[in-house]
Chain A
């Protein structure tokens, strides 16, 4: 036992020396985690964000990108309020990072009581943006956005749009749709995107704005029909589905999939995590996942990411104000 540990130490030291010798900027390679890293998830077990975090964990472990395990910890309470507060209370802790969704902006805005200012956190990397698509049941006569607008105008509040909780992404997208086309429908909130998709297939709601990852299984089985996507460019996996932009309405909404660290950590710690996620982003597993789930995988980090967060936060504040969710 002593022998093997010592030899492992020896190999480690040799490796570190080799790294130092070859590295052009020695500062970047200096910090390494000494214990398992807590990978906080802003949502409960089994949701989209959780699945993604566990997928990232698997990429890191499978390819041995890190010497220590990254352990997903779910703190989904209060639309992520729990997780945000946890990150704030862990300022300066080098062994905590967090996977974010758009509740990263909306939860602090809607619950100022939790006392979280996201500008205090350290942005690490944005790995992808999830997209939104307008779906109807495949049995419906509605084939185009034009049909959709006509029918919804006729039915008015008799038209049921299913989505996640009020104030979350789906309800924001619905509000955008209503405003753009002058519609007024009834929004029915469900617990998660999976529930929403099933209620569309079971015809308990009339349309949804699911992420492709939530509806793609039903789409492949011919149970649901996409009408248009809220993206800048058409989604390659959904052939022949137009964007709202190409139909003359500037409706674009994305959900970020990023990683942040607590405030007050040293720059070399942030650099370490950045390097890990660079490797994740470059892996073939990640690329396949993006393709399969129609995620738009575009890398952002450093000041660009900070700027992106600021813009998105302002955009969400405006959206929430419009919906009457905040003053």
Chain B
């Protein structure tokens, strides 16, 4: 234990060298804006800025890139809340409650909640990272396809087992999402599936970011325009110290949510197959199902913003662990960081901690510092964001439409995606009118491929024996939780009916 602290103190010495510190602040700031720009996420940011790092020492380079990664995790929430377009894939779940909060004139509260939750998630996960990196890496190795599938079932269970929403409609949306997630070339067989009208574009599959931008950006915007006839004033007041204090007071009530989501997010991030997006969605689902007032979720509940934001930051730290200890990325962004490490002449893998301790501990210490820096930058910039939202809606709405198209075109640079956004926008609008929950659809298209691959890998590996999901110790435990969650609404319903019967 003492050894870790002395390493960490050395690490701070490295992280606080003026050059490294400067790289970190610059990275955080760039990351914030990259994250906030729809269509540009940490993956693109890190990939675009990677070449810059060839001219600085590896430690400064990783500090810079990790700061971008971190900053964009914070930044993703900004456009999710303000514009209703997920700024990054990891911030999809933040739109669920962040957007309604903004429409209620509480955008500043949501932004504070996102910043503070991100800070909590980042800090808890980096402490875990410092103390338990090697044993956690070993634990992650015990996750085979069977365990991954069990975890996916648990995630779906959290969304079905929610009070508030209509269960048949929720299940319908999950199934629709699962069908959409199978479009394109199948990983297992490599064969094309569901290539509608023989359109080339479907070979690539339907990216969930396109779906999310369509239904949340376009669909919700149409809905808002219709219901308000354009007389939306998102926010009328300025962001003052009083508002900040009031917001912090409200965020404090969500401390349980934030700590739980941080732990969950970190753990999911550590797993080789997952990443920050599934982590945020799972945290949202679990928070909702454990809440006393699940019906408030999706309508502007502050815990609904805090949960995914704590989880996605925790997961981004978590996914650095398999990157550094195993040499395998837990997320697309860490995959690029990994490539960077190779270019700088480091070999990520089990020996990195022994051979490159300056690099590892310099990075660790800089993550502690990056968390503080992004929190302060975020809070300081809220007045600016609030000012943007005070623009007349007639100006803001077309801007949001433009950002939706830019954001969907940017990741893959093909016109097919903006057309899909338009299509999903109209479909999303209709579904919204018919009162179908949209979050389960997004969840299913994100987790569908993971669930399908891990299920089929298990079936192939265990020759079609499905009982392994229950007999393997780890997956068995996760499955048991999932079954309980599925059953929860039934039990709740029975109890409620009984209570009603007792009264009469």
Contact = CB atoms under 8 A, between A and B. Distances in A.
Interface of A: 44-47, 50-51, 54-55, 57-58, 61-62, 69, 72-75, 77-79, 81-82, 85, 110-111, 113-114, 157-158, 160, 165-168, 186-191, 194-195, 197-199, 201-202, 204-205, 216-218, 220-221, 223, 288-289, 292, 325
Nearest to B347: A217
Given A77-B184, A78-B185, A194-B329, A221 B350 contact: yes
B328 A166 contact: no
Contacts of A194: 272, 327-329, 335
B339 A50 contact: yes
A193 to B, nearest CB: 9
Contacts of A167: 189-190
Given A54-B343, A221-B349, A221-B351, A205 B185 contact: no
Contact of A61 (B54, B142, B322): B54
A186 B463 contact: yes
B457 interface: yes
A85 B200 contact: yes
Contact-residue size bin, chain B (C-beta under 8 Å from the other chain)? 35 or more
A78 B338 contact: no
Contact of A198 (B328, B336, B348, B457): B328
Interface of B: 43, 47, 50-51, 54-55, 141-145, 184-185, 187-190, 192, 198, 200, 203-205, 272-273, 322, 326-329, 332, 334-336, 338-340, 342-343, 345, 347-351, 412-414, 453, 457, 460-461, 463
B455 to A, nearest CB: 12
A198 B270 CA distance: 13
Contacts of A186: 460-461, 463
Contact of A58 (B54, B184, B348, B413): B54
A189 B327 CA distance: 20
Contact of A166 (B188, B198, B200, B332): B188
Given A44-B332, A197-B328, A191 B185 contact: no
Q: Which 9 A-B pairs have the closest CB atoms?
A: A46-B335, A217-B349, A77-B204, A221-B350, A204-B144, A78-B203, A51-B339, A202-B141, A167-B190
Contacts of A188: 145, 457, 460-461
A288 B336 CA distance: 20
B463 to A, nearest CB: 7
Contacts of B198: 113
Given A79-B185, A292-B347, A187 B342 contact: no
17 contacts: A46-B334, A55-B343, A61-B51, A62-B55, A78-B192, A78-B203, A82-B412, A157-B463, A165-B187, A166-B188, A167-B190, A189-B457, A199-B144, A216-B349, A217-B348, A217-B351, A292-B347
A144 B323 CA distance: 31
Contacts of B336: 45-46, 50, 54
Contact of B145 (A45, A78, A204): A204
B415 to A, nearest CB: 12
A217 B327 contact: yes
A51 B338 contact: yes
Contacts of B144: 199, 202, 204
By CB atoms of chain B within 10 A, which of A50, A57, A166 has the most? A166
B272 A198 contact: yes
Nearest to A206: B461
Contact of B412 (A57, A75, A157, A202): A75
Given A75-B412, A198-B328, A55 B339 contact: yes
B461 A45 contact: no
Contacts of A58: 50-51, 54, 343
A198 B145 CA distance: 11
Contacts of B327: 194, 217-218
Contacts of A168: 190
A58 B4 CA distance: 35
Given A51-B339, A73-B413, A190-B457, A198 B141 contact: yes
A44 B335 CA distance: 10
Contacts of B51: 54, 57-58, 61, 69
